[in-house]
Structure 1
Amino acid sequence: MKRTLILAALGAASFGATNVQAEEVNIYSLRQPELLAPLTAAFEEKTGIKTNVLFVKDGVVDRVASEGENSPADVVMTVDIGRLDAAKQAGIWQPIPQDITADVPANFVEPDGAWVALTARARVFYVSKDRVDAENLSYADLASDEWAGRVCTRSGQHAYSIGLVASQIAHNGEEATKEWLEGVRDNLARKPTGNDRAQVQAIYSGECDLAIGNTYYMGKMLTNDAEPEQKEWAASVRLVYPDAEQSKTHVNISGVVLAKHAPNEDAAKQFIDFLLSDEAQAIYAETNFEFPIMPGVEASDLVQSWGELKADSLPLAEIADKRDEASKLVDEVKFDEGPQN
């Protein structure tokens, strides 16, 4: 009921409206249009508002900032807390109304309303089914002697890695995190390289036994009919949620920003409100293998088969504040050069 009333109040293209001037919303997205197609199609059908998606692979925040008051962007959709924080720091946002975000868990909303999360993805372990029996693992274990020469990961400077290191700083402090990061570095089976899928391939080939990666890549690999070899990689591993017993599995997010100079502001607000609806959250869950952030909306059956996510409740804005420290720490310990022992 709340969500229906919000949509009706925000603009002329409310549910069931007829004989109104056509509206549109311009979406700048780090995600390719085909990934958003199920969402935009459902929104258009429900509201009559046309969606225009511009895929911006790199530099979306800089682009909107450089366009200034003339920017056609109504909303910016991106992934990773770092990119969302960059949007805030660049000043390309206006507050998302609190009545739209009222039902969103507080740790998924930027305190000033600069962004709101849309989905969550956990930073987990992929472990070899044949060579790893452990069920309960922690991020701390990555630095233990048991895993010497058995760990694979992508670059420490990648946004996903920086998010994890920043969360460790937020929880444990910089000095403890530095010691931990040095231990992880020296347990690597090789220099950090490749993307998250490449780490699973390395387990499949026997190069390492444990890899760090995002949950949704497992779903993408298991259902990849175009590249069936990825199904074989994924079948060789199982997924472990680190620190599950302490409810501290690190999560990152995709999210949305309401553009500062949105030319179609009312339509943009309706679109953001729709993205937080049960319908849109369920579409995300089924098509992208991500976790809905709205209470009461379940993950897909495949994602649920991996076990229960007990996510870290630390506000993501606090993790974002530690990202610069995390990046400096990765360079300081020469993480991307691999083992130093």
Structure 2
Amino acid sequence: MMVNANLTRGLLLGAAALGALAGSAFSASAQGVVNVYTNREPGLYSSTLDEFTKATGIKVNAIFSEQGLAERIKAEGENSPADVLITVDVGRLQEALDLGITQPLKSQAIESAVPAQLRDPEGRWFALSMRARAVYASKDRVKDTAITYEDLADPKWKGKICTRSFQHQYNLALTAAMIVKHGEAKTEEWLKGVKANLAKKPSGGDRDVAKDIMAGVCDIGLGNTYYVGLMTNGTNAEQKKWAEAIHVILPTFQGGGSHVNVSGAALMKHAPNKDNAIKLIEFMTTPEAQHVFADVNYEYPIRPGVAVNPLIQSFGALKPDAMAISAVGKARAKASELVDKVGFDR
């Protein structure tokens, strides 16, 4: 399946600047090149890829699309120019595995930088950054400083929770993590309990949760940690007010840690520039590249020892749950079924 033309933009990220790429075909035989397909906004990667080019002399070509990249690579088959897929959400990484478009790679540099629970056991993808699924809470109306994900189904929150669709990848990953932690039956009951506590039908995005809290529509809601950084330090004055109205709680599972999702990279099965692709993925796990994730997009670095942005650090120390992220990806399809079964978004 090819990507809708309205959703696809070709982008060339070279050593000097980020510019438009005419068309979507890359040269599979070019020397000193690596071809990246990504659904992450190129602005996040431009400075990192510039540094990679400066350090190695390898030119980076990247094509960006919000959706459909894995299917596109599958359709391109052996003729695909894609060397690396960089994507958000473990579900999309699992999709790449299910479509058979990846190949395993062995790299001591990557394995020493990426903790085992944040990579595919067979080396077919590796996390590059983390984000926590947090609770946004009203500064004025909520005095709680700790909460578990299980608590979201507690009737004490009846009529007080806002969230985006639970079929969205961020909430599907949380639901999948709940399945890994508690099994399908308990997760179904949890979904019913959270649905019963909603202040309104799921809608909008994570930033809209903060907006609704400020407006008094609800008292708490689910949102990724990095959105608070983007709202706080962005140029949108209204969004700054939304961020000022909330405080962030890092929830945990009962007896466990916080749920995290990842952005990640995978080596493509027919990568025409395999050696360069491995070098790029290795570079993305270096301290220099990890600082970009922390300071440009307010994400958590996956490499131990790299400092978290001070604003994100102010939420408290993140203690990710010990579950393997790969298990969350595998449970995503069942999570989607359960969300529909309980009619969560209706």
TM-score (norm 2): 0.89
1:321 counterpart residue number: 330
Whichever residue aligns with residue 44 of structure 2, its letter is: L
Equivalents in 1 of 2:334, 2:68: separation in Å?
22
Equivalents in 1 of 2:39, 2:104: separation in Å?
21
1:55 pairs with 2:64: yes
Q: 2:124 aligns with which of 104, 114, 139?
A: 114
2:228 counterpart residue number: 218
Aligned-pair RMSD on alpha carbons?
Answer: 1.3
1:154 counterpart residue number: 164
Whichever residue aligns with residue 156 of structure 1, its letter is: F
Q: 2:144 aligns with which of 134, 138, 149?
A: 134
1:168 pairs with 2:174: no
2:243 counterpart residue number: 234
Whichever residue aligns with residue 146 of structure 1, its letter is: K
Gaps of 5+ in 2: 1-29
1:14 counterpart residue number: none
Whichever residue aligns with residue 77 of structure 2, its letter is: G
Equivalents in 2 of 1:63, 1:245: separation in Å?
40
- TM superposition shift of 1:98: 3.6
- TM superposition shift of 1:282: 1.0
Gaps of 5+ in 1: 1-20
Equivalents in 1 of 2:230, 2:53: separation in Å?
26
1:244–1:307 distance in 2 versus 1, CA, 3 Å? farther
Equivalents in 2 of 1:122, 1:72: separation in Å?
33
- TM superposition shift of 1:96: 2.1
1:64 pairs with 2:73: yes
For the 8 Å contact 1:117–1:293, the answer to whether it is kept is yes
Range 299-308 or range 204-213, more displaced: 299-308
Equivalents in 1 of 2:132, 2:42: separation in Å?
23
Equivalents in 2 of 1:331, 1:244: separation in Å?
23
1:89–1:245 distance in 2 versus 1, CA, 3 Å? closer
- TM superposition shift of 1:246: 4.2
Equivalents in 2 of 1:92, 1:134: separation in Å?
45
Range 207-216 or range 300-309, more displaced: 300-309
2:111 counterpart residue number: 102
Equivalents in 1 of 2:67, 2:184: separation in Å?
30
For the 8 Å contact 1:244–1:309, the answer to whether it is kept is no
Range 89-98 or range 74-83, more displaced: 89-98
SS of the residue aligned with 2:280? helix
- TM superposition shift of 1:32: 2.2
User: Which string of whole-angstrom CA distances, capped at 9 and with x for unpartnered residues, describes residues 62-118 of structure 1?
Assistant: 000101111111100000010000001111111121424321211011011110000
TM-score (norm 1): 0.90
2:41 counterpart residue number: 32
1:303 pairs with 2:312: yes
